[in-house]
Structure 1
Amino acid sequence: MHNNNKELTLSAPLSGPVLTLAKVPDAVFASGAMGDGIAIDPLNDTLHAPCAGVIVHVARTGHAVTLRADNGAELLLHLGLDTVELQGNGFSMLVQEGARVANGQPLLRYDQDKVAQQCKSLVSLLILTNSQDFQARPITLKSVKVGEPLLHIIRRNGAGAHTEVELVGEERIGHVRIAHRGGLHARPAALIRQTAQGFKSKSQLHFAGKSATCDSLIGLMGLAIGEQDEVQVSCQGPDAEAALQALLIALSTPLAEEHHAAAPAPLAQRNRVAEAGVLHGVCAAPGLVGGPLFRLNAINLSADAGHNDPAQQRQVLDHALTQVRSEIAVTLTQAGKHKNTDEEAIFAAHLALLEDPALLDAANHSIDLGMAATHAWSQSIDAQCEVLQQLGSSLLAERANDLRDLKQRVLRALLGEAWHYDIPPGAIIAAHELTPSDLLQLSQQGVAGLCMAEGGATSHVAILARGKGLPCVVALGASLLDQEQGQTVVLDADGGRLELLPNAERLADVRHAERARQQRRTEQQAQAHTPALTVDGVRIEVAANVASSSEAADALAHGADGVGLLRTEFLFVDRHTAPDEQEQCHAYQAVLDAMGDKSVIIRTIDVGGDKQLDYLPLPAEANPVLGLRGIRLAQVRPELLDQQLRALLQVSPLSRCRILLPMVTEVDELLHIRQRLDALCDELGLTQRPELGVMIEVPAAALLAEQLAEHADFLSIGTNDLSQYTLAMDRDHAGLASRVDAMHPALLRLIAQTCAGAAQHQRWVGVCGALASDPLATPVLIGLGVSELSVSPVQVGEIKDRVRHLDASECRRISHDLLKLSSAGAVRHACHQHWPLS
């Protein structure tokens, strides 16, 4: 159905439950990198055309087809995930490339049983591949039958008379100073666009005689607005005032992670002042280091004569791809065990890209024409990178770096090169653009810092560099690669500068600063085994978050006062059957033994929702984070929790074991588990009861803290989940994650209420979320009444040192005033003023 050739209604190509792309268990589709769209978990065996049009592409393996609708929208219909690996087995294509099809016409049929048994998932996708020209709006997110209305497709450029009606209303104008570090680059621009799209009014930014509509990411970035520049915002439409206020806040509130940088970007960086012997770039990870510059070069291939044996080259490529997949799988397992969620997400995306039909089909096609596997793979990646870079989105252009990473990794496997760089320790690495794999390798080899000619502060490498504590500057320009190998340089990542000609005095200063930082760390570590007392004598327990007995031993070595959170999921993931009672008991006992005489808080299994187990099939959920997780799963599968509680009750001594329940929302859940625990103690003939605590990670629990504290022995606040549930922002959402800041006054009010409720019953409150590891937040948490902080093992010394410099009564006085502030940015600014980080 068409409306002036601009709006098109797509009918369901399959029958079954509808999912948003974010819920698709495939990182590439879920990220929207392929385009906007929708998914269906199919219940029928035939894929139908969602509208009339022309078949422009049929996958060689018969699992996918692309249809161009009469209005120009291009629709990829992809049946199942990873189905390219079935090589057409179980699929029969019913149409040919170039054929004209009618709405509802059958396009492909598949053998449901055969395909379901062999592929990762039957979840099928309808992707709008030219999302830059069209927008997809879901009509329903419930189950559909073939032919029922599913999506509206709307052309993005100008909606004619329809727009005129919307824009009736007075124009509202405001002025604001840009607070985003580095100005309005890709990520802040994406946030502004996202904010504007929440309103009906048309919004524009005006700066230096130029204007751009807030709908356009490229337009916004094209204004070249710097940090602290003043811009005019205009909004016209029925909700112009609300849109204006929302945009003014978004423009004047820095992204949360921008506050974590060691220092604000100096004026010189913003204005790019020309300085002899200095290259200016953008800070991706803070720090100041000096050392020899070492350049990494990409692999260069010699010319390919062609005439290669296709069967042999396919085999060579398949072998290399299998090798790289298994390498990435090992990285993923390690990241999962150590809870490096950023690392896990990045390499999960890499694994998904290695299965991508667009890449594999293109490479195999070139091999069929006689090309060598090395060149076919290289060419296939280059072509995809070009597509991403031409989409006009710098965020997608940065994702091209992930593809280049896979290009290098697979080429190394094909060429048989050992994946190792010969680098002197303490070197500062220079490269055109580093990849995540490079970074993991380099960080293990003890490099001091990283600088790149290209890249962005939002790239995966930047995220990993921050996690590894490696100073990193990106976008330094091509002249970086002309520098002499081995020359001594200073990388001032805080200022976004690479100093090529530092004099002896400057080098001495940098080395002195490095030594002072190192000495401070050494002193903190030396004091880490003594209690953390505030200036006025208040004792704060500083415990550690761990996921295994080896991490517990590490925590004890770093001075932890106990384990504040043992994540038991490490026992349940990456396996095909559940661990039995004896295996669990041994694992918990090993953690207790590793902690000497200190107490260990063990959280009961927190899977379900988005953390699935092979042996625990759960229904697909429209909102996994709001579904069967934590304690709710125990209500559905009580035998799992019973087995875990039995294992926990057999550890010795039981007095050092505390049990923590995740995702509690009401008192009845706690009472039910307490009764169950009592019954199991009676069964096992135990007179002693372990302490039972509740995690405060949903707003309902914080608001009911007093009632929960009446029946719980302690409360532990999980600020990561509490943030996303309170702010209604998915912390894994690329465009929103940086705004999920637990220093938001709303979060602090919930923490204050939790502490006040617990105090009514003389219960103690701990924090085990990421906020506990943020030294800027330490005084606020102490001030609000928190008496235990559970942090990553390496941060125990630092946080204890922070506690020792604080006055608890002053923390109480100031923290309650912070609750009246209006944003996380304002809170962080005030904390820097009151309790500066030395």
Structure 2
Amino acid sequence: MHNNNKELTLSAPLSGPVLTLAKVPDPVFASGAMGDGIAIDPLNDTLYSPCEAVVTHVARTGHAITLRADNGAELLLHLGLDTVELQGVGFSMLVKEGARVSNGQPLLRYDLDQVAQQCKSLVSLMILTNSQDFQARPITLKSVKVGDPLLHIVPKLANGVQIDIEVVGIEVQGHIHVAHRGGLHARPAALIRQTAQQFTSKSWLHFAGKSAACDSLIGLMGLAVGEQDEIRVSCQGPDAEAALQALLAALSTALAEDNHAAVPAPIVQRNRPAEAGVLHGVCAAPGLVAGPLFRLNSISLPMDAGNHEPEQQRHALDAARTQVRGEIDTTLAQAKKHKNTDEEAIFAAHLALLEDPALLDAAHQSIDQGIAATHAWSQSIDVQCEVLQQLGSPLLAERANDLRDLKQRVLRALLGETWQYDVPAGAIVAAHELTPSDLLQLSQQGVAGLCMAEGGATSHVAILARGKGLPCMVALGSTLLDQEQGQAVVLDADGGRIELTPNAARLAEVHQAQLDHKQRRALQQAQAHTPALTLDGLHIEVAANVASSAEAADALANGADGVGLLRTEFLFVDRNTAPDEQEQRIAYQAVLDAMGDKSVIIRTIDVGGDKQLDYLPLPDEANPVLGLRGIRLAQVRPELLDQQLRSLLQVSPLSRCRILLPMVTEVDELLHIRQRLDALCGELGLSQRPELGVMIEVPAAALLAEQLAEHADFLSIGTNDLSQYTLAMDRDHAGLASRVDALHPALLRLIAQTCAGAAVHNRWVGVCGALASDPLATPVLIGLGVRELSVSPVQIGEIKDRVRHLDASECRRITQDLLKLSSASAVRHACHQQWPLS
């Protein structure tokens, strides 16, 4: 018998931002089906015990553990979502079933990088599984560190009432300005509803003399709360304070979608002179396509005579909603898998609307009067759409489209129609207004473009169209719907127009532009695995910048000639202790293994400046970017670098591993590390040491390139830092960022001097900064003497293709003149003239 009349405070088992269960991207946990609790998006690699407890269960796959606290509370600690599918890979359980653990004791360790790359989400949960006996109350919803107080566990009496009766019924309230762009439309309202549902207390929003319960999406949207409107929030119940805190946070934090800059809609000038055969509208997603026009019609219902059996109709509606719920869940799972957050947010809101009490009550009332489920559901939604459109907010009127989408989906399920439009691939679809579900279906069927009589550039359909790369136009007017089915049209979304009567030459021109673009991309990908040779036969290695073994595998699949820069910081940041030698060796070996027989350049730890480590407190510096960072850190904490070098020397085959030193400013720094490397090779009984390179990212290193090249095996230019140090402009400074351009003639002169200095000792020079990924800069870098370009994996095919169209000797000749120009913009202009981008 457990003493379960004690309260318990649980400490944070992980470090990171705290989420309510409502924000967990998993319907089972988010719904509270597993029990009350809290979630953390972890930044560290070890899960610690939140209290003194006994381990009652350890998951076979090492991703979860169940504890029983001394007061009888049962706690499930679950690391990541869908991590069971990893079958234990990347997890290391530190305790056994039956063991007694103390508060703060490590329970399991995991490979942060490996697990993050392979699971749906790292969001981890602490769930109170016997919620019938206890209640979990969040102490904080801010970021926590391991050991911080996180949850109060309060026992309930046998009848489920809380022991601390005195707090039951307390009402708390607060005021907040709504941060969501466009106010409380469907998605923010869904977030508020989900947040409120995590608490026992009842919650309401009050605005302009009206109130709405937070469990009704329609009620919340019906308040017509606009962006930055001030509203009052009230909560009443045992956990009212925590509920209020959570709701105020949710209302004052804009959704990720709200932070995307909407595609600016061209202003439709009503006085624009009419063009014969052209309709003008608003661009919702850019692009230029041609194809046959195909008109979509919505479902129209026959007259309903009434007198239906209510029980039967309720059952039919429930079955249809269950079917649609399943469809939306599948869409959500796909969106999560592909990390498509826009799509995920839109359909999560649809799921909430499907459960909305206001919609269901209205439909059930009609059904009880003998009306068919099809008509009852249809009328219920039409009434709410009318409400939203009467509120005078264009954004809320657009959100009525989400309700229409649900109407169509449930009607299709009720009518037994298979949801498949018979649309030919390559068609341009015209509709009064498309729904998000329509768009996903049409996208899968390979349509070329979309156009609507109504709609807006900020609608959910517009967001999805941009994500799918589908040209889309809205607000074209009802004339669009009068056009003949199948006629060939040109959709010029960039120009905000549809050409209804294009001649054969215009159609051919647009088709050719489409084909050229598609073929160019396909050809670049097809040739990405062959070497990049200039027209006069010079081989340029095109490698990839990566930060994990998963990215390395992606780079190899994209045709990388090797890894030009592995950033090892991913192993060191967002944790409480440094990774040990074994963990580092495994991580580096995984990258080597992922690259087949290609070489891998591994940069030693580059923290300091803007990258700080919790377990490595550095002195506060007035100018951290000019302080202890890169190789300078090794002078302060030599054991860190020694440990990293030792783990690098144990990878196999060592001949494919090259070591790169960041932030070197003088030859002595390089010589010191060379000596340490030689000494460590001796300790480990190695007869050869790996190649050792120097990053050229400060002007001093570029000016001393010849001296550095005498003792280094290769040089790699980091143009991002070299730009900010040369131009004395912080590359993260909002007002200056656009001027930190690595094509500045001063930078080009430093690159030229680096290549000339390296050539004296027959050393090769690579570029791993952002300039390497800029196709406009490719001929300039080749002309200056760079022989390796390390780029983002997706750009390998494009950069290799660029190399193959260049003559290296011509690049050398023209680049000499570029060094004499006076500004970065002058260099860019000259590059466009000399080597136009296709």
TM-score, scaled relative to structure 2: 0.50
Partner Cα distance (1:670, 1:113) in 2: 61
Query: What is the one-letter code of the residue matched to 2:812?
Result: S
Q: 1:482 to 1:563 in 2, by over 3 A?
A: farther
The 3 A distance-change label for structure 1 pair 828 and 126 is: same
Q: Is the 8 A contact 1:702 1:750 kept in 2?
A: no
Q: Name the aligned partner's letter for residue 87 of structure 1.
A: Q
Q: Structure 1 residues 674, 786: closer, same or farther in 2, change over 3 A?
A: same
Question: Aligned residue for 2:498?
Answer: 498
Query: Does the C-alpha gap of structure 1 residues 771 and 713 become closer, same or farther in structure 2, counting only changes over 3 Å?
Result: closer
Tell me what 1:87 maps to: 197
Q: 1:582, 1:538 → 2: CA distance?
A: 36
1:331 aligns with 2:332: no
Distance 1:745 1:707 in 2: 17
- State the SS of the aligned residue for 2:815: helix
Q: CA deviation at 1:536?
A: 6.2
- Partners of 1:834 and 1:714 in 2: how far apart? 28
Structure 2: how far apart are the matches of 1:443 and 1:721?
44
Secondary structure, counterpart of 2:498 in structure 1 = strand
Separation in 2 of the partners of 1:712 and 1:581?
24
Give the deviation of 1:671 after TM superposition: 10
Q: 2:199 is paired with a residue of what secondary structure?
A: coil
- Written as runs of structure 1 = structure 2, the 5 A alignment for 1:344-355 is 344=341, 346-347=342-343, 350=346
In structure 2, the CA distance between the partners of 1:279 and 1:707, relative to structure 1 (3 Å rule), is same
Within the candidate set 811, 815, 836, 1:812 is matched to 815
Structure 2 counterpart of 1:500, one-letter code: L
What secondary structure sits across from 2:652 in the alignment? coil
Q: Show CA shifts across 1:79-100 (max 9, x none).
A: xx8784463636588999989x
2:357 corresponding residue in structure 1? 364
RMSD: 7.3
Question: Which residue in 1 is equivalent to 2:425?
Answer: 425
- Name the SS of the counterpart of 1:328 in structure 2: helix
Deviations 1:190-247 (A, max 9, x none): xxxxxxxxxxxxxxxxxxxxxxxxxxxxxxx98x8x9xxxxxxxxxxxxxxxxxxxxx
Against the structure 1 CA distance between its residues 706 and 458, is the aligned structure 2 distance closer, same or farther, given a 3 Å change threshold?
Answer: farther
Q: What residue in structure 2 maps to residue 591 of structure 1? A: 594
Q: CA deviation at 1:449?
A: 3.7
What is the CA–CA distance in structure 1 between the aligned matches of 2:559 and 2:389, rounded to whole Å? Answer: 50
Match in the other structure for 2:109: none
**CA drift at 1:708:** 10
Which shifted more, 89-98 or 560-569? 89-98
Map of 1:778 onto structure 2: 778
In structure 2, the residue matched to 1:158 is none
Partner Cα distance (1:188, 1:96) in 2:
33
Matches for 1:756-795 after TM superposition, within 5 Å: 756=753, 760=757, 766=766, 772-782=772-782, 786-791=786-791, 795=795
Task: Decide whether aligned partners of structure 1 residues 274 and 512 sit closer, same or farther in structure 2, where only a CA change above 3 A counts.
Answer: same
Matched-pair contact (CA < 8 Å) for 1:363–1:380: no
Match of 2:77 in 1: none
Gaps of 5+ in 1: 1-18, 20-24, 28-38, 46-60, 70-74, 100-104, 131-184, 190-220, 227-269, 336-342, 392-396, 619-624, 731-735
Question: What SS does structure 1 have at the residue aligned with 2:541?
Answer: strand
Question: Is residue 125 from structure 1 mapped to residue 249 from structure 2 by the alignment?
Answer: yes
Residue 715, structure 1, aligned to residue 720, structure 2: no
CA shift, 1:640, in A, is: 11
Residue aligning to 2:543 = 543
Q: Distance in 2 between matches of 1:836 and 1:552?
A: 31
Q: What amino acid sits opposite 1:588 in the alignment?
A: V
Give the superposition deviation at 1:427: 2.8
**Aligned positions of 1:161-176 closer than 5 A:** none
Task: Give 3-state SS (helix, strand or coil) of 1:275's partner.
Answer: coil
Determine if contact 2:716/2:766 at 8 Å carries over to the other structure: yes
User: Contact 1:26–1:352 at 8 Å: present in 2 too?
Assistant: no
TM-score by length of 1: 0.50
List aligned pairs for 1:629-708, cutoff 5 A. 651-658=651-658, 686-690=686-690, 701=697, 706=702
Distance 1:188 1:520, change over 3 A: closer
d(CA) in 2 for partners of 1:113, 1:695: 56
Between the two proteins, the alignment pairs up a number of residues equal to 604
Q: CA deviation at 1:428?
A: 3.0
Contact in 1 for aligned 2:235/2:241 (Cα 8 Å): no
Tell me if structure 2 keeps the 8 A contact 1:328–1:347: yes
Amino acid at match of 1:820: S
Rounded to whole Å, the distance in 2 between the matches of 1:403 and 1:367 is: 16
Find the aligned partners of 1:637 and 1:486 in 2 and give their Cα distance. Answer: 72
Q: Deviations 1:473-503 (Å, cap 9, x if unpaired)?
A: 5554443344344333333455444333334
Note the C-alpha offset of 1:591. Answer: 1.6
Q: Which amino acid aligns with 1:653?
A: P
Say whether residues 1:390 and 2:390 are aligned partners.
no
Q: CA–CA distance in 1 between the matches of 2:490 and 2:653?
A: 53
1:177-192 to structure 2, matched below 5 A, reads none
> Residue 125 of structure 1: SS of its match in structure 2?
helix
C-alpha contact (below 8 Å) 1:693/1:715 kept by paired residues: yes
Structure 2 partner of 1:9: none
Cα distance per residue 1:420-449 (max 9 Å; x no partner): 654433333445566777666655544334
Tell me the residue number matched to 1:486: 486
Alpha-carbon distance, 1:537 to partner:
5.8
Letter in 2 for 1:808: C
The alpha carbon displacement at 1:798 in A equals 3.8
Deviation of residue 835 (structure 1)?
2.8
Q: Superposition pairs for residues 265-280 of structure 1, below 5 Å? A: 274-280=274-280
Shift of the 379–562 alpha-carbon distance from structure 1 to 2, 3 Å rule, reads farther
Equivalent pair of 2:723/2:740 in contact (CA under 8 Å): no
SS state at 1:832 partner: helix
1:234 maps to what in 2? none
Supply the distance in 2 between the matched residues of 1:414 and 1:637 (Cα, whole angstroms).
67
Whole-angstrom CA distance in 2 between matches of 1:558 and 1:464: 26
Contact conserved, 1:706 with 1:761, CA < 8 A, in 2? no
Instruction: Please give the alpha-carbon distance, in whole angstroms, between the structure 2 residues aligned to 1:300 and 1:723.
Output: 63
Match of 2:249, as an amino acid? Answer: L
CA apart distance, 1:332: 3.6
SS in 1 for 2:832: helix
Instruction: Write out per-residue CA displacement over residues 311-368 of structure 1, whole angstroms, 9 at most, x where no aligned residue.
Output: 9999997996687467435424434xxxxxxx55x3465488679xxx7799334445
The 3 A distance-change label for structure 1 pair 814 and 612 is same
> Relative to structure 1, is the Cα distance of residues 610 and 282 closer, same or farther in structure 2, using a 3 angstrom cutoff?
farther
Q: Work out whether residues 362 and 380 of structure 2, in 8 Å CA contact, stay in contact via their aligned partners in 1.
A: no
Counterparts of 1:722 and 1:299, CA distance in 2: 59
The superposition leaves residues 586-605 of structure 1 with CA deviations (integer Å, 9 ceiling, x where unpaired) of: 74244222xxx433456789
Question: Which structure 2 residues correspond to residues 229-308 of structure 1 after superposition, within 5 A?
Answer: 274-281=274-281, 288-296=288-296
2:549–2:590 Cα contact (<8 Å) kept: yes
Bigger mean CA offset, 603-612 vs 369-378: 603-612
Residues 603, 661 of structure 2: 8 Å contact kept:
yes
1:159 corresponds in structure 2 to: none
- 1:808 shift after superposition: 1.5
Is residue 450–residue 473 contact of structure 2 (8 Å, CA) maintained in 1? yes
Q: Residue 811 of structure 2 aligns to which amino acid in structure 1? A: A
Q: 1:82 to 1:534 in 2, by over 3 A?
A: same
Against the structure 1 CA distance between its residues 533 and 571, is the aligned structure 2 distance closer, same or farther, given a 3 Å change threshold? same
